[in-house]
Amino acid sequence: THIALDAQDGPAILAGHSWGGAVITEAGNHPNVAGLVYIAAFQPDNNETALQWFQTAPPAAENGVLPPDEKGIVYYDKAKYHAGFCGDLSESEAAFMYASQGAFYGECFVTPISEAAWRNKPTFGIVATEDKSINPDIQRNMYTRSNTKFTEMSGSHAVYVSQPQKVAAVIADAAKAVSGK
């Protein structure tokens, strides 16, 4: 992340989805980052983890995050993927997304944040109100605690796929807000 941010010739907005929220919470401290956008994402504070926040509300019955396998990689249960991750997409889109999920190490969920960038950078968010992967109440609680300016959208955890124009508009509005234009 820092290599890409070092190469920027101006200020950048970081957008993070799901556990990517923890990534931008740390990476956002880079001097080229002007603002943060959390898209149905975890937003831990200093010394907090994504797992701590995940455990603050009961998971939806559709949630299919499996325990780490023998290599420590976390996958989503195939039987629950469509309803639990992207219920507002077609079956064929869900099947493609399931087949293309990458290796994600469970260790990421339990790595604490050292310096939460949202404490010092303008921060925006999207609550996916039909999210079955991260309870929308968890999203609201994190964003409210941090004084994040957030928008609620009726959508699944994959709201960035089901409603790309609306998500892009939030990111564009964040860029305008931090640039003063």
Read off the pLDDT of residues 47-79 as tens digits, 9 standing for 90 and up: 999 999 999 998 899 999 988 899 999 999 999
pLDDT, average across residues 123-130: 98
Query: Going by C-beta distance under 8 Å and a sequence separation of 6 or more, which residues neighbour residue 3?
Result: none
Rounded CA-CA distance 105/94 in Å is 22
Which pLDDT score is estimated for 101? Answer: 85
Decide if pLDDT at 113 tops 80: yes
Decide if pLDDT at 178 tops 90: yes
Which pLDDT score is estimated for 93? Answer: 96
Angle 13-42-75 from CA coordinates, rounded to 5°:
110
Decide if pLDDT at 110 tops 90: no
Decide if pLDDT at 4 tops 70: yes
pLDDT, average across residues 134-145: 97
Decide if pLDDT at 9 tops 90: no
Query: Are the C-beta atoms of 38 and 125 separated by less than 8 Å?
Result: yes
Decide if pLDDT at 10 tops 90: no
pLDDT, average across residues 88-116: 91
Decide if pLDDT at 1 tops 70: no
Rounded CA-CA distance 85/104 in Å is 15
pLDDT, average across residues 166-180: 95
Residue with the bigger pLDDT between 6 and 152: it is 152
Which helix (H) or strand (E) segment holds residue 37: the answer is strand 33-41
Query: Are the C-beta atoms of 113 and 47 separated by less than 8 Å?
Result: yes
Average pLDDT, the chain: 94
Nearest by Cα to 126 from 38, 12, 35, 8: 38
pLDDT, average across residues 31-41: 97
Which pLDDT score is estimated for 149? Answer: 97
